[in-house]
């Protein structure tokens, strides 16, 4: 299930709080990696 927070989109379980899995969508990961490389 896609959710939104103040820091961006993430994928989370619909069964929260029993399930606490979270992950970033691939496009968000790629954007973050590009920014990290730019500012390192």
pLDDT for 2-39, tens place per residue? 666 666 777 667 766 777 666 666 766 666 677 677 78
Taking the model in full, what pTM does it have? 0.36
Each domain of the chain, given as residue ranges in start order, spans 2-39
Token digits for 8?
């961006």
Q: How many residues does the chain have?
A: 40
pLDDT at 37: 77
CB 10 within 8 A of CB 23: yes
pLDDT at 24: 64
Among candidate residues 22, 27, 19, the one with its CA nearest the CA of residue 10 = 22
User: What's the distance, CA 35 to chain centroid?
Assistant: 15
């Amino acid at each position: 299930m896609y959710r939104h927070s103040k820091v961006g989109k993430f994928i989370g379980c619909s069964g929260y709080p029993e399930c606490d899995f979270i992950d970033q969508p691939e496009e968000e990961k790629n954007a973050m990696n590009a920014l990290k490389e730019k500012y390192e």
